[in-house]
Structure formats: structure tokens, C-alpha cells
């Protein structure tokens, strides 16, 4: 069975400082991993995805994440926070279940990012 743990429910940073949102996962297969962002009263939007190509993945709005298999981590980073980054972020693991011919998605519980002016 797969699982996702977002290690911080709330992260607060000052504008212009780096952002680190942590995500650990467990998976029985070769997973795809995603980060989604949700702004208030909006749906979830894909930030970036890892699908077994390059381990360092670049996404929208200056975000990137590194897949580290040995640490089972997929942490999200950004060099310099902007006020518009204030939102909730979700880490998602997608396992290809070849036996079922489908994939199973598991969401983390989310990390709320606050950006202080």
C-alpha cells in the first residue's frame, strides 16, 4: 500500500526567503509524484510532476522538486517566496498497479504556506 506524509501542516516564511515543503512517500511500485497548489476558494492546480525521467523537476512559478529514491522524499522548494505563493500545497503519489491495470492516487493532507511581507 502506498502512503504520503507531508511533514508540516503549516509553514510560514518571509517574502524573498526560500521555501521548503517536505513530502515523504511509500510505494510498492515505481511511482509518479506530483505537487498541486490550491489557492483559496479554487480548485487544485498542477505545480509539477515526476514520472521517472529527470529526478530534479521544474514546475511553474519557480518551484522545483527533487525525487530522492533512497530517502523516499519529494520535497518542494523555491528560492524566493512571493506573496502570491501563499496557498495550500498537496503532495500526491500515483502508483501504477499493473495487476489492476490502473493507477492509485494518494494525497497528502496538505501544507499551508503563509508568506509574511
Partner 1 sequence: DAEITQSPRHKITETGRQVTLACHQTWNHNNMFWYRQDLGHGLRLIHYSYGVHDTNKGEVSDGYSVSRSNTEDLPLTLESAASSQTSVYFCASSERLSAGGTGELFFGEGSRLTVL
Cβ distance to partner 1 smaller for residue 14 or 39? 39
- Residue appearing with cell numbers 522545483: 64
Q: Characterize 47-74 residue by residue with b for buried, 16 or more Cβ atoms within 10 angstroms of its Cβ, and e for exposed.
A: bbbbeeeeeebebeeebbbebeeeeebb
Residues 60-99 touching partner 1, rule: CB under 8 A, are: 90, 92, 94, 96
Q: How far apart are CA 76 and CA 13, in angstroms?
A: 14
The reply on whether position 29 binds partner 1 by CB under 8 A is no
The reply on whether position 109 binds partner 1 by CB under 8 A is yes
Cβ distance to partner 1 smaller for residue 19 or 35? 35
Residues 42-61 touching partner 1, rule: CB under 8 A, are: 42-46, 49, 51
Grid cell in block for residue 65: 522538486
Residue 29 near residue 1 (C-beta atoms within 8 A): no
Q: How many residues bind partner 1 (CB under 8 A)?
A: 23
Q: Which of 23, 35, 63, 110 binds partner 1 (CB under 8 A)?
A: 110
Residue 18 near residue 25 (C-beta atoms within 8 A): no
- Sites of contact with partner 1 (CB under 8 A): 32, 34, 36, 41-46, 49, 51, 90, 92, 94, 96, 101-103, 105, 107-110
Amino acid at each position: 500500500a502506498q502512503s504520503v506524509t507531508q511533514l508540516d501542516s503549516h509553514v510560514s516564511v518571509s517574502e524573498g526567503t526560500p521555501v521548503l515543503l517536505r513530502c515523504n512517500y511509500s510505494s510498492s511500485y515505481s511511482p509518479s509524484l506530483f505537487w498541486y497548489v490550491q489557492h483559496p476558494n479554487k480548485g487544485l492546480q498542477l505545480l509539477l510532476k515526476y514520472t521517472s525521467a529527470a529526478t530534479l523537476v521544474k514546475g511553474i512559478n519557480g518551484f522545483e522538486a527533487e525525487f530522492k529514491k533512497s530517502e523516499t522524499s519529494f520535497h518542494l522548494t523555491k528560492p524566493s517566496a512571493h506573496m502570491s505563493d501563499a496557498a495550500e500545497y498537496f503532495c500526491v503519489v500515483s502508483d501504477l498497479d499493473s495487476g489492476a491495470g490502473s493507477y492509485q492516487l494518494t494525497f497528502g493532507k496538505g501544507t499551508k504556506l503563509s508568506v509574511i511581507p
